Structures are given as structure tokens and as C-alpha cells.
Amino acid sequence: MSASRLYLDHNATAPLLPEAREAVIEAMALEGNPSSVHAEGRAARALVSRARDHVARLADVPPSQVTFTSGATEAANHVLTPDYRMGRASVNVSRLLVSAVEHPAVLAGGRFAADQIRVLGVDANGRLDLDALEQALSDHDQSTGQVMLALQFANNETGVIQPVREAADLVRSHQGLMMVDAVQAPGRLPISLSGLGADFLILSAHKMGGPKGAGALVSAGETLMPAPLVEGGGQEKGHRCGTENLAAIAGFGAAAASAVTGLDRMPAVASLRDRMEHGMREAAPDILVHGDGVERLANTSFFSLPGLKAETAQIAFDMEGVAVSAGSACSSGKIGESHVLAAMGADAALGAIRVSLGSLQTEEDIDQFLDVFRRINGRRLHRQAAQAAA
């Protein structure tokens, strides 16, 4: 890749941090299995424990409450299940509530049947309708089992921050459970499982500068846990069996440690994002910036240009050396409208471009992006003028 290219797609994958790369290399040099009791095995186990400590510190929980998985998608499928255990007793969760703007891995409902899932609406900025949540909780028949809410901390496309604590208080008042998708939060928002009021949250290493292939399910305790998704040899206390991906977990831990100290860089990132949006509005007064009426992640801008499809704009940016995304990376290459825009009542057919900055982005990067934006927008305006004259 040319050194002149500009990577502005950190919400899809953050570039691997140097410290995470070093941790991966260190782990790959070890010969032992983390479950073995000999010296080599204990050395591998020590790396897993160190990483668990770092992830636990990130989520503000004891290390015993972190279960490593292959990623956030697996963690979501693990926790989104009707089948829970409290000690030896079974606990049934009969209803799953999800917001209409959740990541596809959560919106799919995990191991819940389709008729057990209720999708809740959002407002024009993409924030959960708390009145709709209250109604859904009141409608639930608790004699059939418990109710669970799955809600993002921040949306992966718009960056909009959800009213997680307010939602958690409502869920708690109805004796329900709550899972928070915190994948986009590390290094951008302070995370505390108890502060959010949630029972579980999910994380992904590669969203915070760690390697792909590692994630975590974080629980509020060890008493109530979902039935295992992957069973076998008893690793991760039996919650997630299979030999641990030592290298990916080690890199995950290093990235989590960096994320804990990364929050102080967010005001500067927010200033760059605001400067970028100001420049785009100057060039294209008709631009639509989705979710800009509420609090968003400091690094994220999700915008549409009337008359220019997002897929076309994304290709144009790429050809000019700027990597951005047309919505979630998990839906790239698929033909279909953005469910996030549709839920917000926006023009889903037009789509939107997501720019997601990194913590080390510079003023020069913003200048480069705006130069490209102005050229793409100029071509859009020229086409519109030609069509009007025809």
C-alpha cells in the first residue's frame, strides 16, 4: 500500500498497535499449551492471565469475570441465549429485546428463536426509544421467564452513544438482564460494567488495535452465566472450551492496556472530526450528517450527499487514496440498504459514508481528506447541473 494512502476506517478495524504486535510475537515464540502444568505450559498460562488482567481493568471488573472468545460475534452468540445457569439451577430467558440499530451480530438474536425477539425503535438520531423499551418490558409476561435487553454503548456506523444507564435502570426495575455491546468504546469512552448497570458486555480486540480473532464476554459475576456455546475440555472455566488462541489473546491484552490510557487523546480527535465536518459543510451545504444532534463517538462521522450513492462515493474515495466505509464493514459487498439509516427514518437507499478516525490522526490527514472530498463533491455538483440543464 502506498505511503500516501489515508486510512480512515478505524471502526472497522484499528491498525495493529506496536505493543500488540510485540505481544503477539512474544506469544508465538512460546511452545507450551496454556492448560499444561509443566514450565512451558505455565509460561503460556501467565500470558493469558496477564491479558485477562488488562481486559478486566479496561472493563472495570475482576479478572475472573472475563471469558475469552474468538471475537465479539462469538461473545454475542454466547450471551444471547434463553438458557442460563445459576449454579446447578436453570434460568430461562424467554424474551430478547434489541434496538433496531444494533450490529448484525446482535440483531440476529444469537440462540433465541425469531418469535422470542422484539425489535425496538429509535429516534431520528438513532437513540433507543426509552418509552418503547418501557412498554416492551411492561408487556413481558414474567411467568414465562426473564427478559433481556441487548444494547450498544455506541453505534458502529453513526457513532451515536446510547442511553445505556437509563435503559439499564428500566430493565432492572423489571427484574431483567442486560447485555451491552461495547465493541466501539475502548479508547474512546470510559467503560465500567457496573457503571453501565449491565450484566454482561462484549468486546473485540481488533477494534482497539489488537489482532483479529480475539474477543471477550465480560460478566457482572460468576453465579449467573449463559450456557456454553463451545463445549469441550473445560478451558475458561468451562464457559468457552477449546485451546486458547494464545497469540491473539496476548495482543488483545496489550491493546486493552493501551485503550485504558487512550481516553486523553479523544478531545483532540473530536476537534479534528468537527473541523472535518465543518469543511464538508462549507463545500456541500446540503450534506446530511447522521446523528449529529446527539452525543457521538469523538472519532466518527456518518454522512450522505444527496444524489451520490454511498457505494459510488466509497469507490471514488478509494481511488483517490482514502479508505472509508459505506456503513458497517460487516455488510460491505452486500446488496441492500443500511438497517441503521432505515431505522432512523433516513434515505437508506442512498446510503452513507462513514469516516472513523484514529487517535493519532493529524491536521494534515484532515486536509488530505477534505481535498479529496471537495473533488468528489465537485463532480457531484457538475452532474447535478448537467442533469438540470438537460
Catalytic residue numbers, as ranges:
330
Residue 131 φ then ψ, to 5°? -65, -40
Reduced to 3 states (helix: H, G, I; strand: E, B; else coil), residue 124 is: coil
Q: Which residue, chain included where needed, has cell 466501539?
A: 184
Instruction: Determine the Cα–Cα distance for residues 11 and 183; give it in Å rounded to an integer.
Output: 9
Q: Which 8-state DSSP code applies to residue 15? A: P
The secondary structure element, H or E, covering residue 133 is helix 130-139
260: which residues sit within 8 A by CB, 6+ positions away? 54, 57, 58
Find all residues with CB under 8 Å of 214, minimum gap 6, and list them.
68, 69, 70, 71, 204, 205, 206, 245, 248, 249, 251, 252
Residue labelled with grid coordinates 447541473: 385
> Among candidates 330, 329, 327, 317, which has minimal Cα distance to 348?
327
Burial bucket for residue 200 (CB in 10 Å: 0-12, 13-18, 19+): buried
- Taking a C-beta distance cutoff of 8 angstroms, is the pair 294, 127 a contact? yes
Quick one: which of 252, 258, 287, 217 has its CA closest to 358? Answer: 258
Return the number of other C-beta atoms located less than 10 Å from residue 29's C-beta: 8
The contacts of residue 366 (CB under 8 Å, 6+ apart) are: 272, 275, 276, 279
Number of residues assigned to the chain? 390
User: What is the rounded CA–CA span in Å between residue 148 and residue 175?
Assistant: 9
